A and B are shown apart, each in its own frame.
Chain A
Amino acid sequence: MLGLIVRRLLQLVLLLFGISFLVFMSMHLAPGDPASIIGGPTATESDLAAIREELGLNRPVLTQYVDYIAGVLHGDLGYSFQNNQSVSSAIMTRFPQTFNLAIASMIVAILIGVPAGIISATKQNSWFDVSSTTVALAGISIPNFWLGAMLILIFSVQLQWLPVGGLSAPFWTIEGMKQLILPAITLGTASAAMIARMSRSTMLEVIRADYIRTARAKGVRKRAVTWVHALRNAMIPVITVIGLNFGFLLGGTIITEQVFAINGVGRLMIDAIAARDFPVVQGTVLLVATLFVVVNLIVDIVYAVIDPRISYD
């Protein structure tokens, strides 16, 4: 087990270097001179040269990359072209909003997805199963930015029950929770659908296993068999899906934040892409990708811990 963890951590380090190099190079190769973006249209050639000198843009690419990585390891992600704000502090102030949204969506996805999948499997081909699998397929097909707009239309514009957007209040207050409900449903729906599909198929597999038949044959009540014997085994792959989905939710917040005007990392990224503010794009993309691979690694390890049958050799 320890060997596995060490090996995976080493792979992670390599992967993180790969990610940072890819992100750095794609921003470096992007058309458009950063110096003229910073200098603006009125900058003279000597101004541009001074900016390049100051930012070290006239040094070899690899030197710039090594410097960037050295900075990243010290928590320095560079400075925004637009307002010269430190990228790390911009991300730090916005990350809590993104994180809260991702967690809340995860809760929504689990609360809907797992029970729906289990009931579907235990009552295979019933009306509940047919409608829940169809709804799950629809849930994957709904554009979540549109779902968000529709929820706003119904619950904020028509019924006026919930606020239109923003995530200004802390999540533990009533106001904060109210602000979080619609974005969490918007973002969590697709994950709920995926979790439901996964729970259903693994549950169907487990229910047909011999030990389940044995349990039933020795007289254990059906409900106990389903919720105790079967569920424990069926949940192992589901936990993986939930873990992987958390990474996707972090990525998905980018769009949801835009719909609900939440000032998170995603909005920071979108604004930066539109303004060609490369250091901010670089920092935010790097953050989301890093979180994604780290979460995936944790899921892999947890998977191996909870299921001793798994080995990655």
Chain B
Amino acid sequence: MASGVISPANTSVKQPKKERMLFQTFKRLCKNKLAVFGMIVIAFQILLAIFAPWIAQYDPVVQNLSKAQLGPGAEGHFLGTDNYGRDMFARLVYGARISLIVGITSVTLGLLGGLFLGLISGYYRKLDGVIMRFVDLLFAFPGILLAMLIIAMLGTSLVNVVIAISIWSIPTCARIVRGSVLSVKKQEYVVAMKSLGASDLRIIMKHILPNCTAPIIVFATMRMATAILSTAALSFLGLGAQPPTPEWGAMIAAGQDFMWTAPHMTVIPGIAIMLVVFAFNVVGDGLRDALDPNMELDT
């Protein structure tokens, strides 16, 4: 055993409580202007998603052909109407709900799958080879291709997009978790727990999992950006949400045919996607800096 010299000063220092650490992380995150901007955008999207029926004055799918392709601001339509006379603002607000739900569901499912595989693979060396070869295999499909293959198999629908993006998230998550497990597993306190007879489940749940939280939080945030972007892309290609669902990517696809007469149909949903994806990316970036233990020394 390595000699553990504990100075009197160290013993008197209280363990920082979890809330305090969360607060510290949040405080550091708030110093990052871009991350603050990102958090505001995300908060705004969450509010829109929750209160969509109260915020939107019109129904997002009911057509009114007499008011088709109105420009922004015309006749009480703040962002104009689309080719079927549906209010663009209402569709955008309900679209915020769809993208958030799809993002959260697919990232959560992907995380669960990735955590499971990553923990097992990192903890049980015998299974490591098999699982990691499988993960490597999934990595052989660049970008959105794996999601497309899954949709090709299951058929085109928004639910299948969620399944596809979840599965597509698993390999990256599994690798991150495995990496943290491997580094934590060698720590002396884990070896000590094991020799004291703690069960594998207890060691994983109480000692290994908490040490993986920082990279997982960063991954989940960044993955939200990818999930939202990919949902929009798949719907744009006609493989996800089907009309008349007010999904942002599908809205852009519909708008492309009216680029000459109603460019706002294409411009507006794209700005929404970009803002939200940018927001999750900068918050993820900020979190990575804020959670980095090396930063502790500087502040």
Residues of A within 8 A of B (CB): 15, 18-19, 22-23, 26-27, 29-32, 134, 137-138, 140-147, 149-150, 152-153, 157, 247-248, 250-252, 254-255, 258-259, 269-270, 272-274, 276, 278, 281, 285, 288-289, 292-293
Contacts and interface: CB of A to CB of B under 8 A. Distances in A.
Nearest to A269: B148
Interface residues of B, number: 45
A27 B152 contact: yes
B141 A143 contact: no
Looking at B148, B233, B267, B273, which has the most chain A CB atoms within 10 Å of its CB?
Answer: B148
Given A26-B149, A153-B266, A145 B285 contact: no
A31 B156 CA distance: 12
Interface stretch (B17-25, B123-131, B234-242): B234-242
Nearest to A277: B152
Contacts of A150: 266-267, 270
A141 B34 CA distance: 14
Contact of A143 (B34, B136, B233, B256): B233
Given A15-B136, A255-B144, 17 more contacts: A19-B141, A26-B149, A29-B153, A141-B225, A141-B274, A143-B233, A143-B273, A146-B270, A149-B252, A149-B259, A153-B259, A153-B266, A252-B143, A272-B152, A273-B151, A274-B238, A293-B140
Contacts of A19: 137, 140-141
Nearest to B271: A146
A273 B160 CA distance: 13
B287 to A, nearest CB: 14
Contacts of A18: 133, 137, 140
21 contacts: A15-B136, A29-B153, A141-B278, A145-B249, A146-B273, A149-B252, A149-B255, A150-B270, A153-B266, A157-B263, A255-B144, A270-B239, A273-B148, A273-B239, A274-B238, A276-B152, A281-B152, A285-B145, A285-B152, A288-B145, A289-B141
B274 A254 contact: no
A138 B274 contact: yes
Looking at B233, B266, B273, which has the most chain A CB atoms within 10 Å of its CB?
Answer: B233
B137 A26 contact: no
Q: Which 8 A-B pairs have the closest CB atoms?
A: A146-B270, A251-B142, A141-B278, A251-B143, A141-B277, A30-B153, A273-B152, A292-B142
Nearest to A280: B152
Contacts of B83: none
Contacts of B161: none
B54 interface: no
Interface class of chain B by DSSP:
helix
Interface of B: 34, 133, 136-137, 140-145, 148-156, 225, 229, 232-233, 236-239, 249, 252, 255-256, 259-260, 263, 266-267, 269-270, 273-274, 277-278, 281-282, 285
Nearest to B134: A18
Contacts of A32: 155
Contact of A289 (B142, B150, B225, B259): B142
Contacts of A29: 153
A285 B148 contact: yes
B281 A137 contact: yes
A97 B285 CA distance: 36
A251 B145 contact: yes
A120 to B, nearest CB: 16
A119 B170 CA distance: 37
Contact of B259 (A144, A157, A252, A254): A157
Given A149-B266, A153-B263, A288-B142, A26 B150 contact: yes
A255 B273 contact: no
Contact of A285 (B141, B267, B274): B141
B274 A142 contact: yes
Contacts of A147: 270
A289 B255 CA distance: 32
